[in-house]
Amino acid sequence: MIKAIEDRRSIRKYKTDKVPQAIIEEILKAGILAPSSKNRQPWKFTVVTGDSKDEMISVMEIGLEREEREPLLPGSSKHLMGAEHTLAIMNQAPVIIFITNPLGLDMNLTLSAEDRIYEICNAQSVGAAIENMTLTAAEAGLGSLWICDTYFAYKELCDWLGTGGELFAALAIGYADEAPSPRPRKDMVDVVEWRD
């Protein structure tokens, strides 16, 4: 598994080759096996391929157009062009897996301290599931991209998915058509503090 951690890259160019369903199922199983706070397992996975993917791309385009006119994320408008690039990547990847938290609370709610802690714990759990999935994809010889630009089309994608809860992210999966170099990482001395 350490090799998969070292070799994993965020892939933004994909071949058109289909990914066998058995491999997708292994990736999903890895997500399901992730640790979760209080064993809540706050995840639902929606696998999108083929004609459904074309439909999802159209929905995301509508969301991006709406975001230009009526932004949900006005402070992030400088990243909208990046979201459009992400849409092109999603269009190219043969598989998109949406990860939703069915226990998630409406983002417009004012949360109690306890609800806020649950949301943080659920977010950590979903992150562990996505990481398991990216590493399993890498071990299977696939590339992946953990996508958060879905927030620019949040309402539209949530309505289209119809799963309820809170959309957390999407994961693009496919055979890589690029081999990017590793991105720089902070040194251990910069991020680790030892206390005896």
pLDDT band at 149 (very low <50, low <70, confident <90, very high): very high
Average pLDDT over residues 177-181: 94
pLDDT at 195 over 90: yes
Q: Dihedrals φ, ψ of 108, to 5°?
A: -90, -5
Average pLDDT over residues 154-176: 94
pLDDT band at 105 (very low <50, low <70, confident <90, very high): low
Ranges of H-type helices in the chain: 2-7, 21-32, 50-69, 80-92, 113-139, 154-161, 188-191
pLDDT at 109 over 80: no
pLDDT value at residue 106:
67
The type of residue at 167 is: L
Q: How much of the chain, in percent, has pLDDT values that exceed 70?
A: 97
Domain spans of the chain? 2-179
* Listed range (52-61, 74-83, 110-119) with the worst mean pLDDT: 110-119
The type of residue at 97 is: I
Q: What's the pLDDT tens digit per position in 31-61?
A: 999 999 999 999 999 999 999 999 999 999 9
* Cα gap 177→12, rounded to integer Å: 8
CATH topology of domain 2-179: NADH Oxidase (3.40.109)
- Complete edge-to-edge strand list for the sheet that includes strand 95-101: 44-48, 95-101, 166-174, 143-147
* Cα gap 194→113, rounded to integer Å: 30
* Cα gap 129→27, rounded to integer Å: 10
Q: What's the pLDDT tens digit per position in 115-131?
A: 888 888 989 999 999 99
Average pLDDT over the chain, rounded to an integer: 93
pLDDT at 1 over 80: no
Average pLDDT over residues 165-191: 94
Cβ–Cβ under 8 Å, residues 95 and 21: no
Average pLDDT over residues 72-93: 93
pLDDT band at 114 (very low <50, low <70, confident <90, very high): confident
Cβ–Cβ under 8 Å, residues 172 and 144: yes
SS3 94: coil
Query: How many other CB atoms are found less than 10 A from the CB of residue 167?
Result: 22
pLDDT at 67 over 90: yes
Nearest-10 crossing angle of helices 154-161, 50-69 = 150
pLDDT at 107 over 70: no
